[in-house]
Amino acid sequence: MANTNSNQSSTAASEQKRPYTVVKGSLSSLAPKVRSFIEEKAAICQPDNVYICDGSDEENQQMIDTLLENGMIQSLPKYDNCWLALTDPADVARVEKQTFIVTKEKRQTTPTTLNGIAGQLAKWMSPEEFSKQFDERFPGCMKGRTMYAIPFSMGPVGSPFSKIGMELTDSAYVVVCTRIMTRMGADVLKTLGDGEFVRGLHSMGRPLPLTKPLVNNWPCNSEKIMVAHIPDKNEIASFGSGYGGNSLLGKKCFALRFGGILAKREGWLAEHMLILGITNPQGVKKYVVAAFPSACGKTNLAMMTPSLPGYKIECVGDDIAWMRFDSEGQLRAINPEAGFFGVAPGTSMKTNPIAMKLVQSNTVFTNVAKTSDGGVYWKGIDDDAVSPGATITSWKRQENWQPGDKTNPAAHPNARFCAPAAQCPIMDPAWEDSAGVPIDAIIFGGRRPKGVPLIYESFNWQHGVFVGAAMRSEATAAAEHGGGKKKMIMHDPFAMRPFFGYNFGDYLRHWLSLEPSPHKVPKIFHVNWFRTNDEGEFLWPGFGENVRVLSWIMDRVANKDVAMESPIGLIPKPGSLNVEGLGDIDMKELFSVSPEFLRDECVEIDKYFKEQVNEDLPREMWQELANLQARAKKM
Ligand code: OXD
Ligand code: MN
């Protein structure tokens, strides 16, 4: 008893000595691990206040009021509870060059490239270098500010798939968006108890008083951005950027990079994939996952309105899938997120009516344009988005912006909406099922104007892994660069290039290791909605018509005899892909595979594998490349 008392009084004394005030919640009510994490980081970052988030509505309102007061968001009165944030133009996207994985050995993180060629598959930093970089950034970085402590769960709270994280941040914008993107708040702390959690530390890197004025009221420190992952310590440290991909640590940092490491260790998969359910007119329902590089229409596919009567698409997730085989060997997936952080430009009633309905309420927009009646605007939005007589103010606050101004786009090409999944009109009834949904097909895809057919199926699992490894896609208004670059076909294996948390060679070995029984591995497909003719026009209408391709995939999942061999993989037998009512579709061109194209593709893949993965590439992948070369030669 005496002992307990003395502990209590020493705690009270240390609370008095603390240079910050706990303005919400209490440190003493927290589990020891959570508490020491907050205390340790607060001692370094030196905030004025610590605020322990509970995820309540009142708290959210307080965050919104704070953001309004300091000019970081504006209201959008045309909708219900929607907000607009305009960032410093120097802070608009993920910063791949400044994103690192910190491991003792470089090879744990990234393959040894050929002759010292710069690696593209995860960037390594040594623990010593990280310590130095950390010390140059974090000490005192929250002076004058509030450190918010956000407990969150990736996956439904309590699901065996789910993992818990804690993010410390000095950005109220991050608090508001994390509340949308994850399950956040008091329940999570209860479930966690004194268990293990992923530790995230994020700072905008602009302590008070400011030494330089803010641009657009958006605190950031774009010259010193660093997003570092330290798997050995279960920690993520992100500095200098408020933009979602760098600051919402649950998403790419935790759910993909850390998720990948955990998945390898524990025998599951953390992938950059949408999850959707498709029901055919006979009432048969299947779930599929699909991986596409950023900005290839993943969100549009995940929320597709099918053009064919009698089909239904339901959405489980649009960006990340966590998957594991159950005791029967069935692969099952959850969406670890609870919201959508989608690219706004290009979204319209034509391309994605579901997303348009989704973002009418409770949504945070970032870097879109605003209409004078309090609505949003971007390239490709429906004409009636601008009410008669209304004017447009661009994301750079240029008033009276005129449609057609190509030099200064209305919205940044990487402008986003951040909206709760629960309010998506076609969320799947099982989207929060703790056991996940059964997955029957894995789809890879890319933007390939030339050479690659609309759809093909891999010959088997190993070939499918090769198809993922060899994925390439045309760089569009590459989010990272803000557009304007020459269009190039970039390698993006598994659509994971920016998101690998460990050596890509080991990642491939992990995929290959999943095949043996009792696992019933799903069939693997590759799609390409973006093939063009010589005039550069798309050969396939895309969007809602893509259900025709999904329907063929369902037939294959049911083992229907609708496929025939081609050198690239199994393609639809004539007449087996429903194109009724589509008018003139050049099926020959859409499915043609030329020996020249395949030969060039093999040369490219060979070069990439040698340069980037080198000795770390599994033997099976060399074998698959040789098989493809042999099939091309025989043509
Ligand atoms: C994303 C991305 O933001 O892939 O989802 O870049
Ligand atoms: Mn993504």
Domain boundaries, the chain: 21-72+95-254, 270-335+431-634, 340-423
- More confident position, 476 or 278: 278
Mean pLDDT across the stretch 571-585?
96
Q: How many angstroms does the Cα of residue 320 sit away from the middle of ligand 2?
A: 7
> Are 72 and 574 spatial neighbours (Cβ–Cβ below 8 Å)?
no
Atom of ligand 1 nearest to the CA of 245: 3
Residue 187 pLDDT level (bands cut at 50, 70, 90): very high
Mean pLDDT across the stretch 337-349?
97
Q: Say what the pLDDT of residue 406 is.
A: 85
Does 293 contact ligand 1 (Cβ within 6 A)? no
Nearest ligand, CA 320: 2
Q: How many angstroms does the Cα of residue 626 sit away from the middle of ligand 1?
A: 33
DSSP 124-165: EE-HHHHHHHHHHHSTTTTTTSEEEEEEEEESSTT-TT-EEE
Q: Whose structure tokens read 């699901």?
A: 159
Residue nearest ligand 1's atom 3 by CA:
245
> Are 166 and 37 spatial neighbours (Cβ–Cβ below 8 Å)?
yes
> Are 337 and 250 spatial neighbours (Cβ–Cβ below 8 Å)?
yes
The answer to whether the Cα torsion of 151, 103, 513, 526 is positive or negative is: positive
Per DSSP bridges, beta strands 392-393 and 369-371 are: antiparallel
Question: Active site includes 177?
Answer: no
pLDDT in tens, 355-368: 999 999 999 999 99
Q: Kindly tell me if the per-residue pLDDT of 566 is higher than 50.
A: yes
> Are 90 and 62 spatial neighbours (Cβ–Cβ below 8 Å)?
no
> Are 145 and 173 spatial neighbours (Cβ–Cβ below 8 Å)?
no
Class of domain 270-335+431-634: alpha beta
Look up residue 570 and give its amino acid.
L
Q: Say what the pLDDT of residue 158 is.
A: 86
> Are 528 and 452 spatial neighbours (Cβ–Cβ below 8 Å)?
yes
Q: Which helix (H) or strand (E) holds 271?
A: strand 269-271
Q: How many angstroms does the Cα of residue 516 sit away from the middle of ligand 1?
A: 32
Closest CA to 507 of 616, 431, 383, 365: 616
**Residue 371: beta bridge partners?**
392
Q: Say what the pLDDT of residue 16 is.
A: 54
Does 103 contact ligand 1 (Cβ within 6 A)? no
In whole numbers, what is the pLDDT of the chain averaged over residues? 95
Look up residue 525 and give its amino acid.
F
Mean pLDDT across the stretch 542-550?
97
The answer to whether the Cα torsion of 498, 501, 504, 509 is positive or negative is: negative
Q: Rounded distance, CA 318 to CA 21, Å?
A: 39
Cα separations in angstroms, 445 against 77, 234, 273, 276, 592:
38, 32, 11, 15, 17
Does 319 contact ligand 1 (Cβ within 6 A)? yes
Q: How many angstroms does the Cα of residue 560 sit away from the middle of ligand 2?
A: 33
Share of the chain above pLDDT 90, in %: 93
Q: Say what the pLDDT of residue 7 is.
A: 43
Strands in 364-366's sheet, in edge-to-edge order, are 73-75, 83-85, 364-366, 416-420, 339-343
Using the CB atoms, write b or e for 238-252: b if 16+ within 10 Å: bbbbbbbbbbbbbbb
Q: What SS3 class is residue 434?
A: coil
Class of domain 340-423: mainly beta
Per DSSP bridges, beta strands 163-169 and 198-203 are: parallel
Task: Give me the catalytic one of 296, 418, 424, 602.
Answer: 296
Q: Whose structure tokens read 């802070």?
A: 91
Closest CA to 416 of 347, 492, 319, 317: 347
Apex CA 304: angle with CA 464 and CA 273, to 5°?
35
Q: Say what the pLDDT of residue 294 is.
A: 82
Residue nearest ligand 1's atom 1 by CA:
294
Q: Count of alpha carbons within 13 Å of 438, Cβ hemisphere only?
A: 12
Which residues, in sequence order, are CB contacts of 229 under 8 Å at separation 6+?
A: 100, 101, 102, 235, 236, 253, 257, 258, 501
Residue nearest ligand 1's atom 6 by CA:
294
Cβ count within 10 A of residue 106: 16
Residues 93/222/412/249 CA torsion (nearest 10 deg): 30
Q: Rounded distance, CA 11 to CA 273, Å?
A: 46
pTM of the model: 0.95
Q: How many angstroms does the Cα of residue 96 sit away from the middle of ligand 2?
A: 13
Nearest ligand, CA 340: 1
Q: Say what the pLDDT of residue 18 is.
A: 84
Q: Say what the pLDDT of residue 486 is.
A: 61
Q: Does domain 21-72+95-254 have CATH number 3.30.70.260?
A: no
Q: Say what the pLDDT of residue 5 is.
A: 42
Strand residues in 82-231 grouped as ranges (E): 83-85, 99-102, 124-125, 146-154, 163-169, 183-184, 198-203, 226-230
Does 414 contact ligand 1 (Cβ within 6 A)? no
Distance of CA 522 to the CA centre of its chain: 23
Q: 164: buried, middle or exposed (CB in 10 Å: 19+, 13-18, 0-12)?
A: buried
Atom of ligand 1 nearest to the CA of 244: 3
Which residues, in sequence order, are CB contacts of 72 under 8 Å at separation 6+?
A: 85, 172, 173, 217, 218
DSSP 48-60: SEEEE----HHHH
Mean pLDDT across the stretch 174-180?
98
Q: Say what the pLDDT of residue 483 is.
A: 44
Nearest ligand, CA 181: 1
Cβ count within 10 A of residue 512: 17
Residue 484 pLDDT level (bands cut at 50, 70, 90): very low
Q: Which of 92, 94, 247 to mutate to test the pocket of ligand 1 (most atoms within 8 A of CB)?
A: 94
Q: Kindly tell me if the per-residue pLDDT of 273 is higher than 80.
A: yes
